[in-house]
Chain A
């Protein structure tokens, strides 16, 4: 067997170890990992707690958005009803879509990842517990404030797609639209934090021996899910930023009279918006692929094909965004491309469906609640997929688009593809977190009510759409043959509501949270999350030799529990987990993990405050919150990146691992690279906006900045990158003064400031203002993005200087300095590309 890191796989044969483990090890683990009590539980960062809070909050938003839907269905039950006034209805449907997509579906999938992944991978926790806590609390406070806007009539009313010009200042002068832009813009940050956590967690904290092909299929789904967030979300982050700039400062990105274009928003929105559907579907599909083998009591048929399907879905889904724009008068060639791609994306879905069918055929399925939900989801999803193929046919879409046919289609896809699998998963995995499993008897009722209700609600909507009923209407006229169908649909909606209510009752009766004394492996799953666990996850971390280790090694649970595998104790007396290599999961080093801290919570509160208070235009308070948020983040970081006494420790069976690691194999490096990918994607979308607007309205491109200024800007950025790299180099040298790296880094950041400063100055001299035209808006937009990076680099310079002063930048290599250098080099590159690109058009 080949090795990836030089680790000798023969060492795995030392496990399970012989002999009794010393007394007190388990007690020490429990002491180290125990959660704070009482109010201080809010400072908990362990994934068992954060994950459970997270799932609970996402479910709360599901119920809230569902209640909005029920009220809307009452309004539409009969023609010309006055139960919901027009404006309220418009706010309700906007909130229903927005909350379901941004506050329920995506967070729920991340929440389940936080809860399940460490257990499935037998890691002690996710690699950045405080980041998870921050992401959760930011989402919690931000989401609740956002939702509360509906009680004050201030909820957004421009639809979840927020098309300008309707959402521009001229047609939406109130702060409703700002709630959407700032509220959602900020929840996206939380989603990205979660994605970074998941990518690094899946690739670097798997149990030793869990090579990629032995990785649970759910981890594959989550990996693709997180990668899609990293690629897709930047587009909407940039979009919300541009629209808010247009609203607040009249930068005309979307105003066709000044060289903007409303279609730019649609491109940015759907480049995120369509992959979003698969972002929601893939993790749910991963959950089903985990459950079906257990429920059918056999191995998953075609696991490799499913992994390929995940990858293909992720890839193709970024080539289909324009199928939401078939009715905008697109050129015929692009229509053909997007139509073909939209059909192609259904092939990977077919692979997954037939894999589940085949697995059921091989096994002996038990008809318990998770099975019913999985089957109900499959049938519903197939119908949604088929109507999806129908609307991928462009001429048919010209009729169906923006009609109730689409309402039916998308609910079939999302409820069949995500909601039913989610309920299956809740029934299946709750015994892992609760003293009692949920009730099978109630569960079957829940299923049948939801399943029948779903079909009764949404199937008739296909007909409504083909009979000419448009979407997003607060009422309709009688005499159009829509009355009876709408009434039936409303009856169905309440049937679903009844099912969900019954589920809540089931939860209240049976769900009793516990991390260790849980109901256990009720359904007989074969993957690692069903090992006996405490807050520290498993007592020892097993060597993984197959995809379903619990089925293949009956002694595994006992040996793990008796500490006969990796890390049966705490080697350093701190929270820790084993970081393994990305492909073959060979142990590389021991990561020291941070414990409970109130700083992520405070940082989240102030971040939420910054955005929410900004919407009501109390700028002083908003900026005060922003500064406090930065202080809290820096404070939480301050404790991290410290050396422990022991350079290497015994992680079991005499295998020694280092306790500190720098450079490209450290988890911090990986997280920074993912973060830089996000930043780069935002930059790519900004460059796209610039080139796109130039292509649409070249006649507005009149001003030109001095090209000779490049002779100053480019050297400044080059100096920034060079000095940053030099600071890293000098740290490794024995002879230099201890303060040299810090000083060099500060100089590097000064050069960055000089670069962006000269660039701004030369554009201001050209006479172009951001409000002048689409050119001005996009040029200053690009410069603003670079300014944000430079601002962050300035914060880093202060942080590095402070750590340097306290002798925390330790030779020869230090992660804090490494990562700041990495960021600075990137910022210099982006600055240089910005300076060149903005001067290319018009070429005077």
Chain B
């Protein structure tokens, strides 16, 4: 079973021409400038070529000679390129300006083929763990610490900023910012083997008040209902890989499920999160995202799958 045709990851389409914040926005401006430059230069070359092939003899005579090469091939490009370079480098500097030290920090770790998300406090300690989805407040920069625990991945949410690689043994810093609330899709951009094509990500930007409410709710201890779903979660081995805060499910190999019920997507940004997709994912994630590290649980009867799903839906 592949994801149904209606399913797409949340936050798409995500064109770079529809930026949602200053980091992506200034690149969009640059992109329009570059496209105009490319179109203009291409037109000049086409006109020159047209004259060379079909133009009036008088014009052809002016075009034939090393002077053309000096003007068209050397002087003209040097002027255009120097201008671009100066503008581009100043933009690079602005984009790489250090963000305020008190900016909110989140560590995102690339995993084959999902993302570990840790909201950090001022001392750089994780205060809240999540996966594949990032909540941010609008109107302020958020600093992402990008790391990898296995191979090289690349973090790319086109509407919020350019991409930056996640390299084992290194930490890269990427500021992002959204100026309007919304859901922004992203996807791993560095080939990381297997189902690299299905390693998506979602950023959700909220008004600050709403954002703080969500984070505050996450910090208050949740009352766990002991039920069939919870028993099954433990007895079928889910807890070996997954963690749910406040329970003894402490696995760290797979995505943290403490807030899975509140996520907008499943399978790392590739399915909308609802009861049907959740049951489908638990029962046979391999047919949805072949090669991912979670085994299929086809041996579980339907009511067991439904019970586990009920339990997980409650993890907001």
Contacts and interface: CB of A to CB of B under 8 A. Distances in A.
A347 B81 contact: yes
Interface of A: 79-80, 82, 85-87, 90, 157-159, 163, 165-166, 170-172, 256-257, 261-263, 301-302, 305, 327-329, 332, 335-336, 339-340, 343-344, 346-347, 350-355, 357-362, 365, 375, 378-379, 382-383, 386-387, 389-390, 393-399, 401-403, 466-468, 470-481
Contact of B192 (A166, A389, A394): A166
Contact of B156 (A354, A470, A472): A470
A353 B76 CA distance: 13
Nearest to A471: B191
A520 B309 CA distance: 77
Contacts of B150: 165, 170-171
Given A302-B66, A329-B170, A350-B73, A343 B196 contact: no
Contacts of B314: none
Nearest to B31: A396
Given A171-B151, A257-B169, A343-B85, A361 B66 contact: no
A166 B38 contact: no
B47 to A, nearest CB: 10
A361 B291 CA distance: 58
B31 A340 contact: no
Contact of A166 (B61, B68, B191): B191
Contact of A472 (B41, B42, B163, B196): B196
A702 to B, nearest CB: 18
B2 interface: yes
Contacts of B213: none
A468 B185 contact: yes
Contact of B69 (A355, A378, A403): A355
Interface string B2-41: 1101111100111111000000101100110011011001
Given A158-B193, A327-B162, A480-B13, A361 B60 contact: yes
A301 B65 contact: yes
Interface in B146-165: 150-152, 154, 156, 158, 161-165
5 contacts: A327-B162, A347-B74, A379-B49, A395-B92, A477-B7
B13 A399 contact: no
Contact of B197 (A362, A386, A474): A474
Contact of B16 (A170, A358, A466): A466
A354 B64 CA distance: 10
A402 B163 CA distance: 9
Contacts of A85: 290
A499 B135 CA distance: 51
Contacts of B120: none
Nearest to A165: B151
A339 B88 contact: yes
Contacts of A394: 88-89, 92
B188 interface: yes
Interface of B: 2-3, 5-9, 12-17, 24, 26-27, 30-31, 34-35, 37-38, 41-42, 45-46, 48-49, 51-53, 55, 60-61, 63-66, 68-69, 72-74, 76-78, 81, 84-85, 88-89, 91-93, 95-96, 112, 150-152, 154, 156, 158, 161-165, 167-170, 172-173, 185-198, 200, 270, 290-291
B189 A86 contact: no
A378 B163 contact: no
Contact of A379 (B6, B38, B46): B46
Given A85-B290, A301-B69, A395-B27, A332 B193 contact: no
A90 B113 CA distance: 15
A80 B5 contact: yes
A401 B163 contact: yes
Given A166-B192, A357-B48, A262 B152 contact: yes
B74 A80 contact: no
Contacts of B68: 301, 354, 357-358, 361
A806 to B, nearest CB: 57
B168 A256 contact: yes
Given A347-B73, A473-B196, A477-B7, A468 B84 contact: no
Nearest to B34: A390
B50 to A, nearest CB: 10
Contact of A354 (B35, B73, B172): B73
B69 A393 contact: no
A340 B83 CA distance: 11
A99 to B, nearest CB: 17
Nearest to A390: B34
B4 to A, nearest CB: 9
Contacts of A399: 16, 24, 27, 31, 158, 162-163
Nearest to B87: A393
A361 B193 contact: no
Contacts of A362: 60, 64-65
A159 B170 CA distance: 22
A350 to B, nearest CB: 4
A485 to B, nearest CB: 11
Contacts of B195: 86
Contacts of A387: 38
Contacts of A329: 164-165, 167, 170, 172-173
Contacts of A386: 37-38, 41-42
B132 to A, nearest CB: 15
Contacts of A170: 150
A208 B170 CA distance: 59
Contact of A340 (B5, B74, B85): B85
A365 B2 CA distance: 56
B193 A398 contact: no
A478 B49 CA distance: 41
Given A301-B65, A395-B26, A468 B187 contact: yes
Contacts of A301: 64-66, 68-69
A480 B81 contact: no
B196 A361 contact: no
A86 B194 contact: yes
Nearest to A340: B85
Given A393-B88, A394-B88, A350 B77 contact: yes
A592 to B, nearest CB: 44
B42 A358 contact: no
Given A90-B194, A396-B31, A468-B156, 10 more contacts: A87-B194, A158-B193, A301-B65, A327-B162, A328-B167, A361-B64, A378-B49, A402-B189, A468-B14, A479-B7
A395 B162 contact: yes
Contacts of B85: 339-340, 343
A278 to B, nearest CB: 16
A479 B161 contact: no
Nearest to A462: B35
Contacts of B61: 361
Contact of A339 (B26, B89, B95): B89
Q: Which 3 pairs from chain A and chain B are nearest by CB?
A: A398-B162, A256-B169, A479-B8
B84 to A, nearest CB: 6
A359 B68 CA distance: 10
Given A347-B81, A365-B53, A398-B162, A354 B48 contact: yes
A807 to B, nearest CB: 59
A532 to B, nearest CB: 33
Contact of B14 (A346, A365, A397, A467): A467
A165 B168 contact: yes
A705 B38 CA distance: 57
A475 to B, nearest CB: 5
Nearest to B194: A86
A473 B154 CA distance: 14
Contacts of A339: 85, 88-89, 92
Nearest to A466: B16
Given A90-B193, A473-B196, A332 B92 contact: yes
B168 A262 contact: yes
Given A82-B2, A399-B16, A399-B163, A375 B49 contact: yes
B136 to A, nearest CB: 19
A395 B16 CA distance: 12
